[in-house]
Structure 1
Amino acid sequence: MKNTFKLLLATVLFSGLWSCEDEQDLMILTPPASFQILTPQAGSAPIELTPGLQNNPALTVTWAAADYDNPTAITYDVEIAKTGTEFETFILAGSTSNTNITWSVLELNAAAGAAGLTPFEEEGLDIRIKATTGTLDAQPVYSNVVTVLLKTYSTDLPKIAVPGNHQGWNPPTAPRLASSGFGETDYEGFVWLDGGYKFVGPDGSGNFNWGNTDWGDDGSFSGVLVETGETDCTATAGYYRVQANTTTLLYSTTPTVWGIVGAATPGGWDNSTALTYNATSKKWEGVVTMTAGEFKFRANNAWTINLGGDPAEMTYDGSNLSVDAAGDYLVELDLSNPREYTYTLTAQ
């Protein structure tokens, strides 16, 4: 009888301990907010981030100190998530022992982009603070959640890939075309083509693979695209300016041979000095004897397609470029990065 009573008592005690542990686990999973975010406040004015002000402060978050029973060093992690995701996935946007943090325009834009906000659209960003101490058995506590409205930006131009016979039909390594701006679909770039090719868009993570949206010729070979078309576009071997609009579903290929022209070049402004395409470097190259003066780059010994302006990012019909001293120069024209066309002159 005594043994039975002891067994019953042990069972009750064990069940009680198990129940207490269950309650503690529930508290750990959903710890109550024990401190508050002070600023920004809910309903604050939307924030529009601007690329030209990247180093300016964009947002300061302040909060009351977390309430622990004993004085202790506290680490605060600032977590952000796209509104509506309930922090199922979140971005750690800062860690500090202070009770405030300030993000620059560049920092906040990058963090919000990583959290999934769409550039140039006003969307909500949820902010919460997690407080922890160095004690092994201490559990984190969380602040309340505050939502701010943000309009982020992107300086990356949208791109599509051009896989084809010229590179083994492999979208991840295919040359790219770029549009003129975010939300635009007027893609262009310079590509060495040799036979069949298609256009492939990125997936949601920006990767280019078969299975993504792709475009081919409509079968008429008159510059009309069709989505998921079975017919490949085609071109004879050569270096082309390729343009494709995935909204109007039109495309074109213009063969180009590049040279340098101007008062600083042997042919003056009337005749281009030819450059040679290097398939390894993907640059147009040549050693040219030049005098001090102005010059530009143009295709096909004509002015229909010409580049000038900013040496770090030339534009069509841009202003004249210049060289200060006479001499022999290795001229390298790089058109491999769509809409970011550059050149270098290296004295020989």
Structure 2
Amino acid sequence: MKKTILIYGAILALFGLISCDEEDYLVFTAQPDPEGVNFENSFSSQYLLSEDTGTNIAERFFWNPVDFDAPVNITYDLEASLDSEFTTPVILGSTSATNQAVTVDQMLEFAEDLGLDDDPATTGEDGLPNNTGQVYFRIHAYSGTGAANSVEVYSDAAPLTLSIIEQAPDTGGGCASIYVVGAAAVDAGWEWSSPVEFFCDGDVYTARVELTNDTFRFFEIEGDWASGLNYPYFEEEGFTIDENLVNAADGDSNFSFVGTPGIYEVVVDSNEKTITLTPSTPYYLVGDGVPTGWNWDEPVVNVVETSAYIRTATLEFSGTGAFRVFTSFNDWNSGINYPTFEEMGYTIGENFENAGDGDSNFTFVGIPGTYTMTINTLEKTISLE
């Protein structure tokens, strides 16, 4: 009986040794990635910042995945610092993905730490406006939890130039709006429920108006018929008036629109003493993220002004590629990319993001399908339905 017990003990001991050998054989040791980690997107020459667009994404950082040659969890920290040595780095986000968005508000915090402001009256020690400075960004990739025995690697620092948009100086040139009422102004008619407002900047009054062949009049005060400014008034003031407008020769000598019905930008310039009409033209969508492609061959997607200030286009979004908005046909210099709309204060629908490519184009991130895209230049919105 004792022999039997000894034999079983020996067998168990042998299996124990084999098990230990196999376990030792499966141990992996993480090694630094010889390729390192690097940013993969191109950065803008400067990032214009404003509190009005604080929740917008200023930049989405992209980088390559690292390989530590072992089955370990990898975490990426996007770090920022006021100095290139990262003396006191700030972690803007930790992720297992290879991209991280940074908002305008986050960049504004660094701008404030640099002592930048939006006051045009303040300057730096060199006498130049103190609204511009540099912040450094890098990626810290590491295995596991980042403890002492973790493998880690850092990217090179990327300096980004931040510029706070300065407030326009108060030159005392503010001026009140004027209004148009009349049957020629389709959205107004001869009543005060929906007059067309002409916004004033430096004594230049501007509005987009849908006009038809009928009459209208300008008014200095909303709701006050006695404040009317008719055609002879502007003639007597020495204005040169667009050829599409003539004296209606009715009882009130109103304006009569005699041009092609449609939407026009109407400008009353009290400095140059001119009244001009410019017909509406479409915006254009070009890129491989829309049916047009990256060329100007027909058909190009036209975003047509269907009512004053509102341009629309119905098209298919595939969910791949990128595109840009252009204000002039076949003119690459007329492009407006994603961050430019942000800087102009636009609220952009959640189905669109900054493509993060070299030109910061738009990319569609919603469910592929056919949508109506609307660009509202009055409310400053870009939306999909």
User: Please, what TM-score do these two structures have when normalized by structure 2?
Assistant: 0.37
User: Please, what TM-score do these two structures have when normalized by structure 1?
Assistant: 0.41
Q: Going by fraction, where is strand more abundant, 1 or 2? A: 1
